[in-house]
Amino acid sequence: MSEIGRLLVRAPNWVGDVVLSLPALRDARRAFPDARLEVLARGWVADLYRAVPEVDAVRESQGLAADAEALRGQHDAALLLPNSFATALAVWRAGIPERWGYATDGRGLLLTRRCPVPPAVRGRSQVYYYRAMLEGLGIATEGPPDATLRCPGEWSDRGAELLGEGAWIGVNPGAFYGSAKRWLPERFGAAADIVARRAGAKVALVGGPKERPLAEAIAEGMEAPVRVLCGETTLAELVGVLSRLRLLLTNDSGPMHVAAALGVPLVAVFGSTDWTETAPVGGASRVVREHADCAPCLLRECPIDHHCMTRVGVDRVASEALELLAS
Ligand code: SF4
C-alpha cells in the first residue's frame, strides 16, 4: 500500500456524515503522507472539503457513468466511505487498481481490499464506524478523532456580512431527514428569546429553503431581533455564518455537525435519533433529550404523539445554553 501516489477518497453524501468521517480521512492522510489526496463528493457537500487542509483537490461527482469516465487512469487507489454498490462500481469501471471499503451492499467482489462492519461500532460515535473501516483495511488510526473544519477567512468574512453588526446566536429548527427529528418550533423561538436577552445577542435562523416557512413562523413569534437566512446561503456561506455565532440551538442535523466541527458552542435536542452514534463531536456541545421507551426509532415521521420531543422543555434548553455561554 506504500506505493500509493494518487489516492481518491469517495465522500459520504450527507453533510453530517462528511464531518463524522473526517477523522478517518485524516488517518488516510497520515498513512499516505506523500500521496495526492483527492476527494470525490456530491455537489451539495463538496465545498465542505475546502475547509479541510489535508485534502489536495475536490471533484464533484456527476453520477456513476460520468465519474467512471472522468476518473479513468487518474488514481492508484480509491477509499470508499459510503457503503453503496454504485460507488464501488464507479471506481471499478474507472479501472482504479486498488479499491477499498466495507464489504456491504453486495459489492465485495468489486473491492480489492474489504472488511465487514464490526459489531463493536454500534452504540459508539459514528467517527468510529469510519475509523474501524480503515483498521479493517490495515490502515492505522491514531490519536483522538479530529473532526474539525477550518473555516476559510473569506467564508467567515462573508458570514459576518450576511449577519450584520452585533453578537449573534443561531437557531437551526429544521432537519432534512424528517419532522420526527425536529423539536417544537415555538420552543426554539422561546429558548432563543431567553438566551438572546441574557446574552445581548440577535438571532439568526439558519437552514435550507424548505425550512424558510418554518423559520418565518418562528421569527414572527419572537421578541429578540431576528434574521431569517434559511434558503439564502450556499454551503460555504452557511459555514461562514455558523463560524460567527456565539452559540447554536439545533436539532440533530448537518448544520449541527458543521457547527461542532467549527468549535461553535451548541445545544442539540435529540429525540428519535441515536445520540450515542450521531451526537456532535468535540468542542463545547451539549445534548438535551428526555427518556422515551420508543427512542431511538430512527423514523422520519412520528407515528404517535412525538413525546420524545414534547417532553423537552424550553427552560432546560435555555439553561444549558446559558451555562455554555457563561463557561
Ligand atoms: S416514535 Fe417515539 S422516538 Fe420516534 S419520534 Fe415518536 S415519540 Fe419520538
What's the 111 CA to ligand 1 centre distance in angstroms?
Answer: 38
Ligand 1 atom closest to 295 (CA): 3
Going by CA atoms, what residue is nearest to atom 1 of ligand 1?
Answer: 302
Asked whether the predicted pLDDT for residue 179 surpasses 70, the reply is: yes
What's the 217 CA to ligand 1 centre distance in angstroms?
Answer: 24
How far apart are alpha carbons 71 and 91 in whole angstroms? Answer: 8
Spell out which residues line ligand 1, taking CB within 6 angstroms.
180, 271-272, 292, 294-295, 297, 299, 302-304, 306-308
Which of 65, 66, 53, 61 lies closest to 80 in space, CA to CA?
61
Ligand 1 atom closest to 271 (CA): 8
Which of 326, 323, 314 lies closest to 192 in space, CA to CA?
314
Residue 91 · residue 99 · CB < 8 Å: yes
What confidence score (pLDDT) does residue 3 get?
86
Burial of 73 (C-beta count, 10 Å sphere; 0-12/13-18/19+): exposed
**Mean pLDDT value across residues 107-115:** 97
What does each C-alpha distance from 167 to 245, 294, 307 come to in angstroms?
Answer: 7, 39, 34
* Neighbouring C-alpha atoms within 13 Å toward the C-beta of 277: 14
What's the 231 CA to ligand 1 centre distance in angstroms?
Answer: 28
pLDDT in tens, 133-156: 999 999 999 899 999 999 999 999
Which of 294, 300, 305, 312 maximizes ligand 1 atoms within 8 Å of its Cβ, making it the mutation to test the pocket?
294
How far apart are alpha carbons 215 and 325 in whole angstroms? Answer: 23
pLDDT in tens, 28-59: 999 999 999 999 999 999 999 999 999 999 99
What's the 305 CA to ligand 1 centre distance in angstroms?
Answer: 7
Which of 131, 184, 189 lies closest to 290 in space, CA to CA?
184
What does each C-alpha distance from 272 to 189, 224, 290, 315 come to in angstroms?
Answer: 21, 29, 11, 21
Enumerate residues 6+ apart whose C-beta is below 8 A from 244.
156, 159, 160, 163, 168
Q: Which domains does the chain have, with CATH numbers?
A: 6-136 (3.40.50.2000), 153-326 (3.40.50.2000)
Asked whether the predicted pLDDT for residue 66 surpasses 60, the reply is: yes
What confidence score (pLDDT) does residue 151 get?
97
Which of 234, 256, 235 lies closest to 245 in space, CA to CA?
256
Q: Answer left, alpha or beta for residue 251, where phi above 0 means left and psi between -120 and 50 means alpha.
A: beta
What's the 136 CA to ligand 1 centre distance in angstroms?
Answer: 34
What's the 310 CA to ligand 1 centre distance in angstroms?
Answer: 10
Asked whether the predicted pLDDT for residue 1 surpasses 80, the reply is: no
Rg (Cα) of the chain, in Å, rounded? 20
Which of 275, 302, 305, 309 maximizes ligand 1 atoms within 8 Å of its Cβ, making it the mutation to test the pocket?
302
pLDDT in tens, 190-229: 999 999 999 999 999 999 999 999 999 999 999 999 999 9
Mean pLDDT of the chain: 96
How far apart are alpha carbons 12 and 82 in whole angstroms? Answer: 5
What confidence score (pLDDT) does residue 83 get?
97
pLDDT in tens, 258-296: 999 999 999 999 999 999 999 999 778 999 999 999 999
Ligand 1 atom closest to 272 (CA): 3
